[in-house]
Amino acid sequence: MKFQGSQNYVATQDLMLAVNAAITLQRPLLVKGEPGTGKTMLAEEVALALDMPLLQWHIKSTTKAQQGLYEYDAVSRLRDSQLGGVDGNARVQDIRNYIVQGVLWQAFTADRPVALLIDEIDKADIEFPNDLLREIDRMEFYCYETRELIKAKHRPLVFITSNNEKELPDAFLRRCFFHFIKFPEPDTMRRIVDVHFPTLKADLLALAMKTFYDVRSLPGLKKKPSTSELLDWLKLLVAEDIPLEALQSADNKVAVPPLVGALLKNEQDVSLFEKLVMMNQRNR
Ligand X SMILES: Nc1ncnc2c1ncn2[C@@H]1O[C@H](COP(=O)(O)OP(=O)(O)OP(=O)(O)O)[C@@H](O)[C@H]1O
Of the residues 6, 12, 20, 40, which one makes contact with Mg ion according to CB under 5 A: 40
The CB density around residue 89, as the number of other CB atoms within 10 Å, is 11
> With the C-alpha atoms ordered 172, 136, 13, 228, is the resulting torsion angle positive or negative?
negative
Cα atoms in the 13 Å half-sphere on the side-chain side of 168: 25
Tell me the C-alpha to C-alpha distance, in Å, between residue 258 and each of 8, 171, 234, 275. Answer: 28, 48, 11, 16
> What does 141 interact with, of ligand X, Mg ion, none (CB < 5 to 8 A by kind)?
none
Sequence-distant (6+) residues with CB within 8 A of 206 are: none
What is the number of the residue whose Cβ is closest to Mg ion? 40
What is the number of the residue whose Cβ is closest to ligand X? 38
Q: How, if at all, do strands 29-33 and 177-181 pair?
A: parallel
Please, which residue, 40 or 248, has the CB nearer to Mg ion? Answer: 40
Distance, in Å, from the CA atom of 4 to the CA atom of 283, rounded to the nearest integer, reads 49
> What does 163 interact with, of ligand X, Mg ion, none (CB < 5 to 8 A by kind)?
ligand X
Stretch that binds Mg ion, among 10-18, 32-40, 57-65, 215-223 (CB under 5 A): 32-40
Cα torsion 224, 195, 51, 70 to 10°: value is 30
Closest approach of ligand X to the CB of residue 225, in Å = 12
Please, which residue, 106 or 163, has the CB nearer to Mg ion? Answer: 163
Residues that bind ligand X (CB under 6 A): 9-10, 33, 35-41, 161, 163, 192, 195, 227-228, 231
Closest approach of ligand X to the CB of residue 38, in Å = 3
Amino acid at 213: Y
Closest approach of ligand X to the CB of residue 170, in Å = 23
Please, which residue, 159 or 273, has the CB nearer to Mg ion? Answer: 159
Q: Binders of Mg ion: how many residues, by CB under 5 A?
A: 1
> What does 234 interact with, of Mg ion, ligand X, none (CB < 5 to 8 A by kind)?
none
> What does 211 interact with, of Mg ion, ligand X, none (CB < 5 to 8 A by kind)?
none
Tell me the C-alpha to C-alpha distance, in Å, between residue 57 and each of 18, 52, 125, 249. Answer: 21, 16, 15, 47
Closest approach of ligand X to the CB of residue 28, in Å = 16
> What does 28 interact with, of ligand X, Mg ion, none (CB < 5 to 8 A by kind)?
none
> What does 264 interact with, of Mg ion, ligand X, none (CB < 5 to 8 A by kind)?
none
Please, which residue, 37 or 211, has the CB nearer to ligand X? Answer: 37
**Rounded to 5 degrees, what are φ and ψ at 56?**
-115, 135
Residue 229: name the closest of 245, 215, 249, 218 by CA.
Answer: 215
> What does 227 interact with, of Mg ion, ligand X, none (CB < 5 to 8 A by kind)?
ligand X
* DSSP letter (8 states) at residue 244: G
- Name the residues that contact Mg ion, by CB under 5 A: 40
